[in-house]
Amino acid sequence: NAGVTQTPKFRILKIGQSMTLQCAQDMNHNYMYWYRQDPGMGLKLIYYSVGAGITDKGEVPNGYNVSRSTTEDFPLRLELAAPSQTSVYFCASSHYSGRKYNEQFFGPGTRLTVL
């Protein structure tokens, strides 16, 4: 299994450009997440999905959109990039069964710079 994969690894955008960060998992997990990590800070949840066709906002959703058309893929869309969106973006997935915490597996991250 490849686990959680993210593309691209690095990207530089100009203000106002748009892009999609790709995330895929091959573990048949129902839950998927997008986090951002600013320098020297912890991770903040942007959006999450509990299954195909279902998404919900996290702590910092403004400026982002997501979709979940399949179990495997959970792309994150930036429509009008702003310097405040310069960050490292992590995708994660987990199998949530309603019982105790199920480990979230993280991808390697996408480092985005908006100039």
Partner 1 sequence: GQQLNQSPQSMFIQEGEDVSMNCTSSSIFNTWLWYKQDPGEGPVLLIALYKAGELTSNGRLTAQFGITRKDSFLNISASIPSDVGIYFCAGLPGAGNMLTFGGGTRLMVKP
Give me the residues paired with residue 6 across strands: 23
Of 11-19, 37-45, 64-72, 74-82, which segment contacts partner 1 by CB under 8 A?
37-45
Part in contact with partner 1 (CB under 8 A); list of ranges 20-28, 62-70, 73-81, 88-96: 88-96
* 91 phi, psi to nearest 5 deg: -100, 145
Query: Structure tokens of 34?
Result: 């997008």
Cis link prior to 61 (omega < 30° from 0)?
no
Is 39 among the residues that bind partner 1 (CB under 8 A)?
no
Contact with partner 1 (CB under 8 A) among 1, 2, 14, 40: 40
Q: Is residue 103 within the footprint of partner 1 (CB under 8 A)?
A: yes
* Residue tagged 């973006």 (tokens): 89
Q: How many residues contact partner 1, by CB under 8 A?
A: 25
Q: Closest by alpha carbon to 20, among 110, 105, 95?
A: 110
Grouping H, G, I as helix, E, B as strand and the rest as coil, residue 84 is: helix
Which residue number, 72 or 96, has a Cβ lying nearer to partner 1?
96
Site of interaction with partner 1 (CB under 8 A): 4, 31, 40-45, 48, 58-59, 90, 92, 94, 96, 98, 100-104, 106-109
